[in-house]
Amino acid sequence: MTTTTPSIEERAGADGERSTISLVLRELRKAPLTAWFGMLVIFAYLFVALFAHWVAPYGESQVFDTPYANWAYIPHWSWLGPIPYWVTFEPTGSEFLLGTDQLGRDMLTRLIYGARNTIGIAVATTLLSFAIGGGLGILAAVRGGWFDQILSRAVDVLMAIPSLIFALMLLSIFGSSVLNLIIIIAILDSTRVFRLSRAVAMNVVVMDFVEAARLRGERLAWIMRREILPNVLPPLVAEFGLRFCFVFLTISALSFLGVGIQPPTADWGSMVRENATLITYGNVTPLLPAGAIALLTVAVNFVVDWFLHKTSGLRDEH
Amino acid sequence: MSTSMNGKAASATGAAEDVLLDIRGLRIEGQSDDVWSQIVKGVDVKLVRGRVLGLIGESGAGKSTIGLAAMGFARPGCRITGGEIYFEGTDIRKLSQSEQIRLRGRRIAYVAQSAAAAFNPAHRLIDQVVEASLAHGLMTREEAVARAIELFGRLGLPDPENIGNRYPHQVSGGQLQRIMTAMALAPRPSLVVFDEPTTALDVTTQIDVLVAIKNAIHAEGASALYITHDLAVVAQIADEIMVLRHGRMVELGATDDIISRPKEEYTRDLVGIRQIHKTEGNGLAREPLLFVDGVTAAYGNALTVLHDVTVFLPQAQTLAIVGESGSGKSTMARVITGLLPPRKGVIRFQGQNLPPRLADRSKEQLRVLQMIYQMPDVAINPRQKVREIIGRPLDFYFGLSGRERDARVSELLEQIELGRKFLDRYPAELSGGQKQRVCIARALAAEPRLIICDEPTSALDPLVADGILKLLLRLQAETKVSYLFITHDIATVRAIADSVCVLYRGKVVRFGPKAEVLAPPFDDYTDLLLKSVPEMQVGWLEDVLKTRRMESAGN
Amino acid sequence: MHPILRTVVQRLALALVTLFVVSIIIFSAVEMLPGDFAKAILGQSATPETVKAFQHEIGLDRPPIERYVDWITNAVQGDFGSSYAARAGYKRTVAGIIEPRLWNTLFLAGVTALVAVPLALFLGITAALYRNSLYDRTVNALTLTTISFPEFFVAYMLMLFLAVKYPIFYSLANVSADTPLLERISRIALPVMTLTLVIVAHMMRMTRAALINLLASPYIEMARLKGIPNREVILKHALPNAWAPIVNVIAFNLAYLVVGVVVVEVVFVYPGIGQLMVDSVTSRDIPVVQACALIFAGTYIMLNLTADIIAIVTNPRILHPR
């Protein structure tokens, strides 16, 4: 090899152009089993949630006159243990695959509509929380000074109250409506998004390329959009998954406590609450919506875990 | 035992030699993104007892990995896959884990690059220095402490009796590095591995530590592997030098042979750097392009960083601002660019006063003054393609877009010797030198009159840095742009400057044409600074020590 | 003043200020009540006179600052006013309602912490030491799964298997003031297990991460290169620097425990402060909600303050200033 300067520097740029799509496909092929499982589950949930109307066998609040009909007919769930002898009546009833609930509504239908409502509300809340927290966080990092000071101190104080407790208090005052729920949880959760996006953006703001843009005379909005946002996106995407899980669990917990999403809206948290007493008879009905929640959060966590591993690993590449 | 400092190279055929370390066919793999690839590709190292072998190479040459492998150690993410490592006659790789542990610290010791990170913040220094001697059962605590104090004194540390009672964060970087050397030498090892021990230090401190290390090694009669990227540094301390590149050996020879009679072209290039010499333009008398007039600047309320600084720079010339860290040279750049409005004084540009605040400057005033940074990695946005990085100033200042803009970007890429195939690359696909070239192109795109260069070569490997300096000189000849060149390296100043300003603790110590500033009689600080940059010459260190007048600023 | 003392006093002052601001927020909750709130509490049949009397009683006709000062001075002395509930017959003080329940909750949280903290630290430290082993990966996958579960899912699963299918434990944790200690403990076995599972997962993962971060420090590598045996590297070099991160992890998770208690108490019908708060939210018994919120927030702030102070006291840079 000759030693003129440019040729020494050639080596790093040797592998040429790579399209984003092929890069993503390559990463996907290398993804571990847990990540694949997670993605599969998430897509299945999204499908069910989006097409609840077509997937569900009955209407959301359609009541049948047989409360608790064949709720022991659960061949799919038999691994959960022996089925108590006294509920095994009507063994051939495939009319209600997972039985009916305490008011005689088809459990499967409720679960499917619950997917739409619960996931929809959680996604809306998380999006709002990111719009508020992410926007203000990046702005605080870029602006600095008193603007940053005031916001950061306010967030410190808000975070000194556990968010579930704060949410309970606010809901007791404003009452539980879906809109109230979304706004309250989003604002409380946005404090955490604020902290993260501010911290991540701080790391970018001190970079010389931001200073270069300032010296060039670029406006603040341009710097935020073109120089900072693309660099804070990967950690924020991962955080979106985690925040979604947290919001989803918080809303479910509130619904379970009876102060979240109100009946007759089908929602997994309240479904657990409504059918909770059945558990003492060895019936698994309340575990179905609870399991549905658990499965989704596990799936999201698996995907986020992989994504985090990927994005932090890429940084080591030289 | 030979303690001659620059003795003849150990010839490979000498039968009577006492070979301490003999590494044969060493192969090491490193993991990146789940893929293992070879980073050391079959290297032989032979070290005779009592001698110092310098391992030199650019980043990625595998020199540190080899140094650790001599202790049978591989960092997480690395693994030794082939070869034998004979130390005092036994193959370390064949030893059990506990036998290897018994060797480390006792027979082979290690001195790391960053002393501040390599000392445990929770323990007193003395406890860490004597730890290896005690763990290996070599001496009693009293003996070990006495030995440590003896070594502290030998390494020129102040108050050797008590300095060990301090915690790591209570002593300076240069002192910590010496204490780490004492820590390595304390159990009387026969081999010490020095991994870039002076790289993280300030220029003027570097020489003192180097001297201390050199004296201590010879007084102790220890052998050493000295790893560095700086050929001039290693020439001061090593008996033999091995040049490494991309995990392979390029050349091995006695220090004098490598420096004076290099055989390989790569070695010749390494030796040949810092030989650029710009004949200075005359013209300090002409109407200056930039006039920094009586500037005093401070951060916050307390700390004054610049005191009444006055310098000026004519069109198409280069003014070098020299000083070590904390001298205020980077602050000067911030004042001139408007990021830090001065307390007192004004910046005049092309005869007009520049508004002190960045926000008050016009687009035209911003355009004519561009900047190049020290770390090319963080100076360009990793999420933008080269096309956008260089294209943005064209769009912003001249309203160019589409084909017109791309054509101009290609032109600039040609100018910086990269070419248009780089248009659609992301920074991650460029090497450090290529990134710095892109930064230069971005500055050039604005067609500036002045470019402020903030240590643009100090983060780069020597050869790459050389290429950047040549490029800057050529661009100046072509475009008549002026440079304000901030650096701590006198060799760089010689290479590129027309006039020089020496800053010390925020004050101008010396300012004038290069020939005047770099010629005696010197003030004490300039003398120290000039004598702090090792030259590619055996015996330079000893000469300097005899003639130097001022202790390093860190002491 | 010694820097340690100064820093500690600073943190203490900061915590007090935070608590003060939090108390203002909680207090002003009443200010945000919608206008028809009194009607909602008293029922649609309430006459304007009773509404007025009620508003006078909760002090809505006095200036807010005066009411805040009253409220907070009383609250500091343990008097949170009287509950809105059961107004017609007799009055009940908020403090009287809260006190027994607060002890119950502290008992539950305390027992959980006693079980969970040592367990989590053990799992976290061993997982960090045997990183990437089968053990580490198993524990990792298991805990990742557990932290994804909602508390009530874990609770009902345990209840189904350990109380209903195989009646080993009590399915409900309804204790009263005169329940003897041993029975009390056996009755809260399932709630403790539920909380432990959730907390241990979090705490173990954080401990592991903190330790791995620590073990990657150059001074750990230096100790290994000095030929110090592995055990001593951990004990002498890693551990003294691990206190701050580990205490942080514990405090964070105890704070989490405070919140997790709410759901678990409801599931197992445990008469604690969490269940009380949920009931009061449902019945919109504002004074009780406020008192509970203040207690929860206070505990939260105190835990974080403790972690902060321990981190300061163990930091050699502050302990031994230049």
pLDDT digits (tens, 9 = 90+) for C149-168: 888 999 999 988 888 888 88
What's the pLDDT band for A22 if we cut at 50, 70, 90?
confident
The pLDDT value given to residue B367: 95
Least trusted range by pLDDT, from A305-314, B201-210, B269-278: A305-314
The pLDDT value given to residue B282: 64
What pLDDT digit, counting tens, does each position of C9-60 carry?
988 998 999 999 989 888 887 677 665 666 666 666 677 777 777 777 766 6
Q: What mean pLDDT comes out for the span C302-321? A: 84
Residue B367 to residue B423: CA distance in whole angstroms:
23
The pLDDT value given to residue A70: 45
% chain A with pLDDT above 70:
77
Residue C284 in contact with partner chain A when CB distance is under 8 A: yes
More confidently predicted of C313 and C112: C112
B132, two tokens: 């290896």
Question: Quick check: A36 pLDDT over 80?
Answer: yes
B367: Cβ contacts below 8 Å, ≥ 6 apart: B393, B397, B446, B447, B448
What's the pLDDT band for A97 if we cut at 50, 70, 90?
low
The pLDDT value given to residue C39: 64
**C235: closest CA of chain A, how far (Å):** 29
Residue B262 to residue B256: CA distance in whole angstroms:
9
Question: Quick check: B500 pLDDT over 50?
Answer: yes
C43: Cβ contacts below 8 Å, ≥ 6 apart: none
Least trusted range by pLDDT, from A137-146, B90-99, B275-284, B405-414: B275-284
The pLDDT value given to residue C129: 84
Residue B194 β-bridge partners:
B111, B226
What's the pLDDT band for B489 if we cut at 50, 70, 90?
confident
Three-class secondary structure of residue B451 per DSSP = strand
Residue B135 to residue A273: CA distance in whole angstroms:
62
The pLDDT value given to residue A92: 36
Q: Does A13 sit within 8 Å of B466, measured CB to CB?
A: no
Least trusted range by pLDDT, from A153-167, B202-216, C48-62, C197-211: C48-62
More confidently predicted of C26 and B275: C26
B436: Cβ contacts below 8 Å, ≥ 6 apart: B372, B376, B456, B457, B460, B464, B468
A189, two tokens: 């959760």
Interface of C with B in 237-296 (CB under 8 A): 237, 240-241
DSSP-assigned letter for residue B352? E
Residue A315 in contact with partner chain B when CB distance is under 8 A: no
What pLDDT digit, counting tens, does each position of A191-208 carry?
999 999 999 999 899 899
Of C221, C227, C316, the CB nearest to B132: C227
Q: Does an H or E element contain B63, and which?
A: helix B63-69
% chain B with pLDDT above 90:
52
Residue B109 to residue B120: CA distance in whole angstroms:
17
* Burial environment of residue B290 by CB neighbours within 10 A (0 to 12, 13 to 18, 19 or more): buried
Sign of CA dihedral A236, A238, A244, A247: negative
The pLDDT value given to residue A24: 76
Residue C66 in contact with partner chain B when CB distance is under 8 A: no
More confidently predicted of B412 and A73: B412
Residue B112 to residue B132: CA distance in whole angstroms:
16
Question: Quick check: A47 pLDDT over 70?
Answer: yes
The pLDDT value given to residue B15: 47
More confidently predicted of A266 and C134: C134
More confidently predicted of B213 and B491: B213
* A316 chain-B contacts, CB cut-off 8 A: 32-33
What's the pLDDT band for B1 if we cut at 50, 70, 90?
very low
What's the pLDDT band for A95 if we cut at 50, 70, 90?
low
The pLDDT value given to residue B84: 92
Q: What mean pLDDT comes out for the span A158-167? A: 85
Query: CB neighbours (10 Å) of residue B165?
Result: 13
Cite the DSSP H helix spans in chain C.
3-28, 37-42, 48-57, 64-76, 94-129, 134-148, 151-159, 181-187, 189-215, 218-225, 230-232, 239-267, 273-283, 286-313, 316-319
Nearest to B195 by CA among B67, B106, B294, B318: B67
Q: What mean pLDDT comes out for the span B447-459? A: 92
Question: Quick check: B13 pLDDT over 60?
Answer: no
Residue A27 to residue C158: CA distance in whole angstroms:
39
* Burial environment of residue C184 by CB neighbours within 10 A (0 to 12, 13 to 18, 19 or more): middle
Q: Is the peptide bond before C63 cis (omega within 30 degrees of 0)?
A: no
Neighbours of chain A (3+ CB pairs under 8 A): B, C
Average pLDDT, chain B: 88
Max mean pLDDT range (B201-205, B315-319, C65-69, C312-316): B315-319
User: What's at B236, amino acid-wise?
Assistant: Q
Q: What mean pLDDT comes out for the span B19-44? A: 88
Residue B190 to residue B52: CA distance in whole angstroms:
11
The pLDDT value given to residue B92: 92
% chain B with pLDDT above 70:
93
Q: Does C217 sit within 8 Å of B167, measured CB to CB?
A: no
Residue B390 in contact with partner chain A when CB distance is under 8 A: no
DSSP-assigned letter for residue A116? I
The pLDDT value given to residue C89: 52
**C160: closest CA of chain A, how far (Å):** 6
More confidently predicted of B523 and B11: B523
Q: What mean pLDDT comes out for the span B307-331? A: 89
Q: Does an H or E element contain B413, and which?
A: helix B402-415
Q: Give the best residue of A45, A85, A173 to mutate against chain C (max C CB count within 10 A).
A: A173
**B431: closest CA of chain A, how far (Å):** 5
**B100: closest CA of chain C, how far (Å):** 8
Interface of A with C in 89-148 (CB under 8 A): none
What's the pLDDT band for B31 if we cut at 50, 70, 90?
confident
CB B382 within 8 A of CB B427: yes
The pLDDT value given to residue B363: 93
A299, two tokens: 């799936």
The pLDDT value given to residue A102: 64
* C232 chain-B contacts, CB cut-off 8 A: 135
* Burial environment of residue A188 by CB neighbours within 10 A (0 to 12, 13 to 18, 19 or more): buried
B48, two tokens: 């005779």
Q: What mean pLDDT comes out for the span B380-390? A: 92
Residue B355 to residue B346: CA distance in whole angstroms:
8
Question: Quick check: C178 pLDDT over 60?
Answer: yes
The pLDDT value given to residue A66: 55
Question: Quick check: A18 pLDDT over 60?
Answer: no
The pLDDT value given to residue A64: 64
Residue C130: φ, ψ to 5°: -105, 55
B14, two tokens: 């000498």
CB A275 within 8 A of CB A103: no
What's the pLDDT band for C146 if we cut at 50, 70, 90?
confident
Three-class secondary structure of residue A119 per DSSP = helix
The pLDDT value given to residue B25: 93
Question: Quick check: B552 pLDDT over 70?
Answer: no
**A313: closest CA of chain B, how far (Å):** 6
The pLDDT value given to residue C34: 64
Residue B267 in contact with partner chain A when CB distance is under 8 A: no
Three-class secondary structure of residue B502 per DSSP = strand
Sign of CA dihedral B472, B476, B481, B484: positive
**A26: closest CA of chain B, how far (Å):** 13
* A15 chain-B contacts, CB cut-off 8 A: 429
- pTM of the complete model: 0.82
The pLDDT value given to residue A65: 58
Q: Which residue of C has its CA nearest to B76?
A: C216
**A301: closest CA of chain C, how far (Å):** 7
Of B71, B121, B132, the CB nearest to C317: B121
Residue B534 to residue B232: CA distance in whole angstroms:
6
% chain C with pLDDT above 90:
20
Q: Does C227 sit within 8 Å of B135, measured CB to CB?
A: yes
Q: At what angle do helices A120-143 and A178-205 cross, to 10 degrees?
A: 40
* B125 chain-C contacts, CB cut-off 8 A: none
Sign of CA dihedral B111, B114, B120, B126: positive
CB A118 within 8 A of CB A267: yes
What's the pLDDT band for A100 if we cut at 50, 70, 90?
low
Q: At what angle do helices B540-547 and B203-220 cross, to 10 degrees?
A: 110
Least trusted range by pLDDT, from A57-71, A89-103, C170-184: A89-103
Question: Quick check: C133 pLDDT over 60?
Answer: yes
Residue B142: φ, ψ to 5°: -60, -45
What's the pLDDT band for C91 if we cut at 50, 70, 90?
low
Q: Which residue of B has its CA nearest to C242?
A: B122
Question: Quick check: B174 pLDDT over 80?
Answer: yes
